[in-house]
Chains A and B, each alone.
Chain A
Amino acid sequence: MKADVSRISYRPKLWLAASAAGALIVLALLPPLIGLYQTQLLTYGLIAAIAALGFNLLLGYTGPLSFGHSAFFGIGAYSVAFLLRDAGIHSMELYILIGLPISALASALFGYICVRHTRIFFGILTLALSQVVYSLALKLFWITGGTDGLRVPRPTLLAGTLSFTGAGAFQRFIDAYYYYVLVVFAICVVVMWVIVHSPFGKALQAIRDNETRAAFLGLRIRRFRWMSFLISGTFTGLAGILWAPLNGLTTPDVLYWTFSGEIVFTALLGGFRNFTGPIVGGIVFTYLKTYAVATTEYWQLLLGVVLVLLVMLLPTGIVGAISVAGKKLGLRGNPP
Chain B
Amino acid sequence: MSILIIQILNSLFYASVLFLIAAGLSLIFGVMRIVNMAHGTFYAVGAFTAAWLVARAVALGVPTIWTFLLIPLGAVVVALIGVVIEPLLLRPFYRRAEEYQLLVTFGLLLILEDVIRLVWGGLPLSADPVMDLLPSIHIGGLIYPGYNLVVITVGAVAALLLWAVIYRTKFGVMLRATSQDRRMASALGINVGLVYVAAFAIGCFMAGLGGAIIVPTQAAVLGMGIDALVLAFVVVVIGGLGSLQGALVGALIVSFVRTAGIQFFPEMELAVLYLIAAVVLLVKPTGLFGSV
B282 at the interface (CB under 8 A from A): yes
Q: How far is the CA of A153 from the CA of B112 in the complex (A)?
A: 36
Q: Is the interface of B mostly helix, strand, loop or mixed?
A: helix
Question: Chain A contacts of B266 at CB under 8 A?
Answer: 139
Known contacts A139-B266, A300-B114, A304-B111; A311 and B271 CB within 8 A of each other? no
B130, CB-defined interface residue at 8 Å: no
Q: Does A51 contact B (CB under 8 A)?
A: no
Interface contact tally, CB-CB below 8 A: 119
Q: Which B residues lie within 8 Å of A119 (CB)?
A: 98
A312 at the interface (CB under 8 A from B): yes
C-alpha gap A59/B271 in the complex (Å): 26
Q: Tell yes or no: A195 within 8 A of B by CB.
A: no
Total contacting residues, chain A, CB less than 8 A: 42
Q: Which of A137-171 contact B (CB under 8 A)?
A: 138-140
Residues of A within 8 A of B230 (CB): 127-128, 131, 257
**Which of B99, B114, B241 is within 8 Å of A301, CB to CB?**
B114
Asked if residues B107 and A131 are in contact (CB atoms below 8 Å), the reply is: no
B107 near A311 (CB under 8 angstroms)?
Answer: yes
Tell whether, in the assembled complex, residue B104 and residue A265 are in contact, meaning their CB atoms are under 8 Å apart: no
Given A116-B285, A264-B103: A308 and B89 within 8 A (CB)?
A: yes
Contacts A124-B237, A127-B233, A301-B111 given; indicate if A311 touches B281 (C-beta within 8 A): no
Q: Are A131 and B281 in contact (CB under 8 A)?
A: no
Compute how far the CA of A125 lies from the CA of B234 in the bound complex, rounded to whole angstroms: 9
Q: Which of B86-117 contact A (CB under 8 A)?
A: 89, 92-93, 96, 98-100, 102-104, 106-115, 117
Please name all residues of chain A whose beta carbon is closer than 8 Å to the beta carbon of B92 when the two chains form the complex.
312
- CB pair A301–B282 under 8 Å, yes or no, is no
Within the complex, which residue of B98, B99, B107, B275 is in contact with A307, where a contact is CB–CB below 8 Å?
B107
**Which residues from A are CB-within-8-Å of B104?**
307-308, 311-312
| C-alpha gap A135/B231 in the complex (Å) | 12
Q: Which chain B residue lies CB-closest to A133? A: B271
B103:A268 contact, CB within 8 angstroms = yes
State whether A123 and B102 are in contact (beta carbons under 8 Å apart), knowing that A116-B285, A128-B281, A131-B270 are contacts in the complex: yes
Interface residues of A in 249-264 (CB under 8 A from B): 257-258, 261, 264
| A129 proximal to B (CB < 8 A) | yes
| B268 on the A face (CB < 8 A) | yes
**Residues in B whose Cβ lies below 8 Å from that of A120:** 35, 98, 102, 241
* Chain B residues numbered 235-292 whose CB sits less than 8 Å from any CB in chain A: 237, 241, 266-271, 274-275, 277-278, 281-282, 285
**29 examples of A-B residue contacts, CB within 8 angstroms:** A117-B285, A119-B98, A120-B102, A120-B241, A124-B35, A125-B277, A129-B278, A131-B274, A132-B275, A135-B269, A139-B266, A258-B226, A264-B103, A265-B103, A297-B117, A299-B114, A300-B111, A301-B114, A301-B118, A303-B110, A304-B113, A306-B107, A307-B103, A307-B104, A308-B104, A311-B103, A311-B104, A312-B92, A315-B100
Q: Which 8 A-B pairs have the closest CB atoms?
A: A304-B110, A307-B107, A304-B111, A301-B114, A135-B270, A308-B107, A139-B267, A300-B114
Q: Chain B: residues with CB nearer than 8 A to chain A?
A: 35, 37, 89, 92-93, 96, 98-100, 102-104, 106-115, 117-118, 226, 230, 233-234, 237, 241, 266-271, 274-275, 277-278, 281-282, 285
Apart from A121-B285, A131-B270, A264-B106, 15 more pairs, CB < 8 Å: A65-B102, A117-B281, A128-B233, A129-B278, A132-B271, A139-B267, A139-B270, A140-B267, A261-B37, A298-B118, A299-B114, A300-B111, A307-B106, A307-B110, A308-B89
